[in-house]
Amino acid sequence: MTDHDQMAHETMTHDMSNMDHDMSEMDHGDMMNHGGHMMHMGNLKQKFWVSLVLTLPILLMTSFMGMTQPLISFPYSEWVVAVIGTILFFYGGKPFFSGAKGEIQARQPAMMLLIAMGITVAYIYSIYAVIANNVFHVDPMIMDFFWELATLIDIMLLGHWVEMNAVMGASSALDDLAKLLPSAAHKVSATGEITEVAIKDLQEGDLVLVKAGEKIPADGILTSGTSMVNEAMVTGESRLVAKAVDDSVFGGAVNSEGTFQMTVTGTGETGFLAQVTKLVQSAQQDKSAQENLADKVSGWLFYAALTVGILAFIIWFINSGLTTALPITVTVLVIACPHALGLAVPLVVARSTSIAAKNGLLIRNRNALEQVKDLKYALMDKTGTLTMGNFKVNAYDSLTDDVSKEEVLTLLASLEAGSSHPLAVGIMDAAKDKALTYDQAQDVKQITGVGLEGQVAQKTYQVVSMSYLLKLGLTFDQKKFEALAANGNSISFLLTEDQVIGYVAQGDEIKPEAKNLIDALLAQGITPVMLTGDNRQTAEKVAKTLGITEVQAQLLPEDKEKLVRQYQTKGKVLMIGDGVNDAPSLARADIGIAIGSGTDVAIESADVVLVKSNPNDVVEFLELARKTTRKMTENLWWGAGYNILALPLAAGVLAPIGFLLSPMLGAVLMSLSTIIVAINAMTLRLKNNA
């Protein structure tokens, strides 16, 4: 959370509802992204196995690998092969024809068009060979390419199947998020009858009973009973939160104590976990800069292959005739298929997204992964990011003779009674310890970037920051403030009618993981900068403890956004905040990271959401991003480099020394490059995590 004087006292209103409609409902075997186009692939697993079965008789009845005679031969066996090859061509090749059609319609020729061209040329030439050999009885006999056609289709289908399995692996992490919710809920009818229903059957407005020890089935508002709720699985904060009538609860949190009834307020697609699903899906589908480059390279390769193929055909036709020219042309088209190049980025991103989700890193914008290598500054909020956000009142007092010290704390507790902010909790805990009685203030409203105000006994009071006092020119005890702030306290002031009547000083505890975050940033050449709305003395004490040398204190939300702009003139900027008043800064930064998943704006404005609210997760993200970018680059070089080297070989530049690359070998080598790219992507790891 950001500092109390910097943010409005906001309540989290996420709809943590059921995820029964999760990613398992998607038929990943049916859709695939290539060249920026979604291509209908059909059931890849079924197509592959059927095509493989059809390939077996072709292997037995044709000559291959230098064999002079097929293993099985009988009258009209070549016609049988032609029939089976035709079935395989249209059945197994259909996905590639569909993809090629989409690329032509989009005027973006790429890998699917090249594959379609390759198998079409091989098929037409093979049919021509069968007719020429068996109808016109040409001499010498023309070698057909049904074996090459069949194996090319099989291996390409296998490559796509491998890809789809990898992409589906990225979705499996969402199942872990869905497990935050129980499978059933205790629904209470209008007559008071309790029945157990599936989570997916809950609707907004339903009354639900939640017993001690159970997970809360959906977002809701308590209508009866009290509870102590552990929201760690939702917000990352492990402390128990007291809940009473009219308080909000989140689906996925654990009811540690007490039994209560609640009215459901969030179901279906309005739920937080449903939003998380959409984030991961969109992260997999959004195209990164490197993926766009891969598509451009594929387009260039299409024209290069077409040019090389035509030139090779003309040259070899002139010098050696059709029977030599056509196989070489087929080989060029087979080799040129940029299958590995097209899989280079999507497979890595799918793997990276899966690892991220399993480690509590929800990547909303995967372009953020590619920005890490150029990062210069890491701007970060203090409270909740570097500190625990568990405040304890260290001092409070009255600054006027009209109000006693205890009355100041009572008024503060009344104003903060409706808030779940850490500073508010600290004040209420102090009032409870002092056995002070108070009623919740009326007409409480938030003052953005300042604090709040409300009415107690028909008199208006405000809880504000020191920067607000300075802005209005109000006087206060500067020496006392400096003494308290020097000890690391966050100080809030109580006002009425523009008069400062009291203050409260609260101390926070630095997160154990914060020091590791700062050390890791410095080790990577990234300068950490603390941005906070808190007073400078408190901010500098925390900064000194952690090793931060640049501190910007007493800031309003718009000040943070301006500072992000300023630092961006010097280099790439990472912003870490809570996603509420930090939203403008998170959106403006090159990479925006929201600490804690408990606010709507964290999802809306940040590129990355850290579910566990652990600063070390930022280090994990930086490590994963760098490894992901490295894998992308490796795959792009392998895919493009392979084609650049293979094209001239396929065209026959080494024919004068006796080396001529056959279509069969071309298909095998091309498919091997695809498998290597897939394996390279799957070797991406985050430390010891899969």
Tokens at residue 565, please? 């702009």
**Residue pair 182/72 in contact by the 8 Å Cβ criterion:** no
Q: Which fold has domain 392-507?
A: Calcium-transporting ATPase, cytoplasmic domain N (3.40.1110)
Q: What is the pLDDT of residue 20?
A: 35
Check residue 66 and give its pLDDT. Answer: 52
Question: How many degrees, rounded to 5, is the angle at CA 233 between CA 228 and CA 236?
Answer: 95
Q: What is the pLDDT of residues 621-651, one digit of tens each?
A: 999 999 998 998 898 888 777 778 888 888 8
- Provide the percentage of residues in the chain whose pLDDT is more than 90: 26
For residues 665 and 593, the model is more confident at 593
Residue 348 has pLDDT above 90, yes or no: no
Higher pLDDT, 68 or 350: 350
The mean pLDDT of 368-393, rounded to a whole number, is 85
Mean pLDDT for 204-216 is: 90
Whether 261 has a pLDDT exceeding 90, the answer reads yes
| pLDDT tier at 661, thresholds 50, 70, 90 | confident
- 244 vs 147, 261, 674, CA distance in Å? 73, 10, 58
User: Which residues are the active-site residues?
Assistant: 381
Q: Which of 149-153, 194-198, 231-235, 405-409 has the lowest mean pLDDT?
A: 231-235
Lowest mean pLDDT among 221-225, 468-472, 667-671: 667-671
pLDDT per position as a tens digit, 402-456: 899 999 999 999 998 867 667 788 898 899 999 998 888 888 887 766 778 899 9
Point out which residues pair with 447 in neighbouring strands.
451
Selected residue with higher pLDDT from 199 and 404: 404
Interatomic CA distance for residues 291 and 653, integer angstroms: 31
pLDDT band at 557 (very low <50, low <70, confident <90, very high): low
Q: What is the domain partition of the chain in residue ranges?
A: 35-176+287-352+628-682, 184-271, 361-387+510-611, 392-507
Strands (E), 413-545: 442-447, 451-456, 459-464, 489-496, 499-507, 527-531
Q: What is the pTM of this model?
A: 0.57
For residue 412 the two structure tokens come to 């503060």
- Of the pLDDT bands very low, low, confident and very high (cuts 50, 70, 90), residue 317 is very high
At the topology level, CATH places domain 184-271 in 2.70.150
**pLDDT at residue 67 in the model:** 63
- The domain defined by 361-387+510-611 folds into Rossmann fold (3.40.50)
Mean pLDDT across 454-474:
88
Q: Looking at the predicted structure, is the pLDDT value of residue 558 above 80?
A: no
The yes-or-no verdict on residue 305 having pLDDT over 80 is yes
**Cα–Cα distances in angstroms (integers) from residue 685 to residues 167, 358, 624, 680, in the given order:** 16, 12, 8, 11
Instruction: Give me the sheet containing 361-363, strands edge to edge.
Output: 361-363, 608-610, 591-595, 572-577, 375-380, 527-531, 550-552
Distance between CA atoms of residues 577 and 532, nearest Å: 10
> pLDDT-derived band of residue 240, with 50, 70 and 90 as boundaries?
low
On average, the pLDDT of the chain sits at 78
Q: What is the mean pLDDT of residues 44-55?
A: 92
Q: Stretch 138-151: mean pLDDT, rounded? A: 81
Q: Has residue 30 got a pLDDT over 50?
A: no
